[in-house]
Chains A and B, each alone.
Chain A
Amino acid sequence: MELLDDIKAAKEVVQSLLKAKKTFRMYPDTNPMYAKTIEDTNAKFRNFFDYRDELTFKIKQNELFCDSEQIYHNPQKEDNIALFFFKDGLREITFKKGFSVKELEDFLKILTVDYDREVLDDDVVTLLWERDFQNIKYVVDEAFLTEDEDYENEAVREVKDKASEGDELAKAYEDSFNEESVKDAVIVPLTDKDLHTIVKEIEKDAQDKTSKLITIIFEMLYQAENKSEYEDVVHFLNSIIEFSITHGDLETALHILRKTKEVFGVSSVADEAKKNLNMVFSFLGFDATIKLLGELLDSGIEINEKMWDEYVSFFDKNAIQPFITILGELKSIPARKNVISALIALGKKDIQSLAKGLQDSRWYVVRNIIYILGKIGDKAAVDYLLKTVNHSDMRVRKEGIKALGELGAPSVFPVLRECFNDPDVQIRTAALRALGNIHSTTAKSIILKRMTDAVFAKTEFSEKKEFYEVLSKWKDDDVVDFLVKTFKKKAFFKRAANDENRACAAYGLGLIGNKDALPLLHKAKDSKSKLLREQVYSAIKRIEYGR
């Protein structure tokens, strides 16, 4: 049988709602598809309202009806819009002609909520109720709210059974004549000031209550008397920390930590309480807690550096490993920077735990750990770092060499010296810079030894220049003598190679800024070698004009 036009239009509304339910889940409100979905669905509603002023769906478990016509049927549980409404007790829903686009959008949002999420306390009816739609009416079956069908009848029957005797009522009536008369009640009226005070209170009441709850939990701690009560307090504080982190509220978590720390200084608080409170600090470092923290960091919420540093100061060393874990998972650079700064602070408490991160399978994590160890500057890390020089990934090796240069323990020299023999120029250069960073006599000797080695002559100009640059950091007589000697050196054979060395020496003298070298440099100003001329010219300028 041919459907009437209005029923067809109602059917199309249902189909558009189903479609919208899917698209709303897929696209954020900034996506053009989101706006288009609203537009399309609204068009379907408008189409229906051309026929009638109200659209009513009667809701059964698997069907929707408009008038007596079935306009939707789905025996499956999945994507069943009838069941979706039915299960929360909705039995009828009516959209009135005035149904606005804004109302439609809000309705679609309610349709799209993931009601199966454990944390959500609302169902469809609650959300419709709270939104208080002007143009949606609905009928709900509240039978499922009744825990005990007979409760009402039983309660009423019991009350009736206990009904007073007529005699007692008559007695009350008789006695009433001897009772004192009522006095005129003094009713103090509400004033505008009262209303103003209440309005202010209601405004104030909108503030977050977590801080108040924290105060209460600490009161519970002060009055706790046994282990179980202490444990409860700690559990609640930890839960609030978890809740705060989940909601991007580091300040509240900090508030708990500060208060916890304060309690340690209060002599009247039992030692048992303090002992238990340590668990709050340990909780910060649990895998799950750090994972949540990582999500917060990655969420893009701006975190004040001072606040972060303070927060990190409450961690104990158990947090190191979980931090290393999330370091490899974080997506944003600022998040990683925060974790790195945390590990620099925490690693000082336990180098060994931090160094375990060097075993991580992710090269970038290992590189970060090396960086962190280098920043910590504890020579105890050297033994761990020495191994990284042989890591399979070049980037890790370079970072390891750099860190060794920052730590500069005696044991690093053989390794760095050995690096000069590495076939990769990046490793050799990294080792050179590390030695330059160490800046000791031993480091200088190693560099000089390398520069006087026969192999060095075959080195590329750019690498050579790097050696001279690093060497010039020492600025002492040995180095000046070496540079002058190199600069003065003449050669009949392999003149180009010699000029390269001289150019590098000129560059080094320029970097040192040695004025005594000026006459010597001036003499070479007109050298036939373009390379030499250029380096000499630069060196003179640098020495004479400090440029």
Chain B
Amino acid sequence: MAGRENRKEEFSEAKDIVNQLAVIIRTSAIHDTGNVAITTAIGKFTAIINPLILAEKEILLELGGEFFFFNETRIRYPLEYLTSFDFLAREFKKRGLGSIVFRATLKSEDVQGFLRAFIASASSLEPFEALAEAIADIGSLGIGRLRKIRDEEKTEGTSDVRKMVKKSYFNAVSYTRGVISKIKSGEKVNIKKAKRVVESMVDMILEEEQLLLGMTAIKDYDEYTYHHSVNVSILSVALAQRLGMSKRSLTELGLVALFHDIGKIEIPSEVLNKPTSFTDDEWRMVQKHPFWGVRAILKMRGIDATAARAAIVAFEHHMYHDLSGYPKTRESYELDFFSKIISLADQYDGMTSARVYSRIPMPPDRALSIMMERSGTQLDPILFKFFINMIGVFPVGTLVMLDTKEMGLVYQSDSAFLDRPKVMVIINGKGERVDKYIVDLTEKKSDGKFLRTIVKTMDPNKYRISPAEYLL
């Protein structure tokens, strides 16, 4: 039995506390802690946090992965706070700081002392230790070290969470396969079930975003259509989640994304699976699939808000940001927000997957650099920035060589350090094939320099290396 608990932000002030903490840290990098700008900001910070400290007796603000937690409850925040959250996560990680404990009512002097120590620790070779020592006298505060990679993560990655993520992913693929087969045979599709499948994915994205994103690196040539639908759904929801969209909207987006390519079921398989280039007539037929998508969805669902949304996306997902794609419309046109998100995810997953007409998929970093060139023309430039922030400069599945001469596959991205993901090493520094292990590229040596850095990227397909083989 798979368990699922709904978790909920219990402290609505938590997001304001993180935001305000980011504000005072950012300001203290410019001004002295006695400056009025800082003291005013500190006043605001203590006014929000002190009543909670009183009520809860102790508050633990913790950075776990990419998210902040407040007394073990993940903090959700509106989009306006994104830069503050990212900034604070980066500053925590720079210092190896994993948590701050607020034990008693904070005085302004306590916060000023903490700020001085926090700023100074950045230039220390051992920032966490420096910070811990400097604030030792402040009784109301304590800090904890940033947790390193979990032991189980270091090796096989077979933790229960990973198992659940995998289960969720394959459930979705298997469900999509079933749905497409039903649509093809004219059977009725159970949307309640589709919603539940997507909700399960949304939950995973909210709790274990990077693990589920990692699953999108699994590209199965034989089952391309189903994997692609699910991957686009995951990538879209993960992106939208960063935009602060509600759970309900995320479900709708995920659902709509699952059906974005549904029009392709009308393209004869001998055309769709043709190994050579399309003839003009075949290309015209392929370009009709957005229309057929609209038709399939509306026939399957009738008209309602979700069907409308799905039909719009099915129609627009190849139109591009600058409307240079297809279909061309007679009337002036503006792309739907969901279509902008889904077309980004669609392009990325399409480029990095093996298909009949392009058996060799593009390495993720190469795909990303092509997408970067398309940003502002084919792709929405702002959403693309969010996309990069989400999947990192070296997306999951990228084959990389480290400066330690270790070779491995990118395993998880780090939104605070986009070029410093976690890497699953498969060949050690001596060039020997080893049991895979995970390394975090944000880890530093005692001299403050990074332990490992990516120096080269390789095309895994050239050597028939399938990321799925390692990531599963």
**Interfacial residues, chain A to chain B (CB-CB below 8 A):** 89, 91, 119, 121-123, 125-126, 128-130, 132-134, 136-148, 151-152, 155-156, 158-160, 162-166, 168-176, 179-182, 185, 187-190, 192, 194-195, 197-199, 201-202, 204-205, 208-210, 212-213, 215-220, 222-223, 232, 236, 239-240, 242-243
Contacts and interface: CB of A to CB of B under 8 A. Distances in A.
A212 B312 contact: yes
B199 A146 contact: no
A401 B8 CA distance: 72
B273 interface: no
A381 B400 CA distance: 88
Contact of B303 (A143, A168, A174, A243): A243
B2 A141 contact: yes
Given A179-B401, A190-B389, A219-B327, A169 B427 contact: yes
A179 B220 CA distance: 27
Nearest to A238: B303
A119 B167 contact: no
Nearest to A193: B382
B337 A142 contact: no
Interface centre among A164, A180, A190, A210 (most CB of B within 10 A): A190
A166 B433 contact: yes
Interface of B: 1-6, 8, 10, 79-80, 82-83, 166-167, 170-171, 173-175, 177-178, 191-193, 195-197, 199-200, 203, 218, 220, 222-223, 243-245, 247-248, 251, 291, 294-295, 298-299, 302-306, 308-309, 311-312, 315, 327, 329-331, 333, 336-338, 382-383, 385-386, 388-389, 393, 399, 401, 407, 418-419, 426-427, 431, 433, 454-458, 460, 462-466, 468-469, 472
A91 B4 CA distance: 10
A145 B191 CA distance: 12
Nearest to A92: B3
A239 B456 contact: no
Given A192-B83, A223-B327, A236-B303, A201 B337 contact: yes
Q: What are the 5 closest A-B residue pairs judged by CB atoms, nearest first?
A: A152-B170, A151-B174, A147-B178, A172-B463, A205-B337
A329 to B, nearest CB: 25
Given A145-B200, A215-B333, A239-B302, A129 B247 contact: yes
B90 to A, nearest CB: 11
Given A145-B193, A202-B337, A180 B456 contact: yes
A156 B472 contact: yes
Contact of B309 (A137, A174, A209, A242): A209
B291 A171 contact: no
Given A159-B468, A172-B463, 18 more contacts: A125-B199, A128-B6, A134-B8, A139-B5, A159-B220, A165-B464, A166-B433, A168-B463, A170-B427, A172-B407, A173-B427, A179-B401, A194-B382, A209-B312, A209-B336, A212-B312, A218-B330, A220-B295
B205 to A, nearest CB: 14
30 contacts: A123-B192, A129-B199, A134-B10, A142-B200, A143-B1, A143-B2, A146-B174, A155-B173, A155-B220, A156-B472, A158-B222, A159-B218, A159-B220, A159-B466, A159-B468, A163-B469, A164-B465, A172-B458, A195-B83, A198-B243, A198-B383, A202-B79, A208-B305, A216-B294, A216-B311, A216-B315, A219-B315, A232-B299, A240-B303, A243-B304
Contacts of B175: 145-147
B243 A147 contact: no
Contacts of B308: 209-210, 212-213
A163 B419 contact: no
Nearest to A216: B315
A151 B464 contact: no
Nearest to A214: B308
A489 to B, nearest CB: 77
Given A172-B399, A179-B456, A213-B308, A140 B195 contact: no
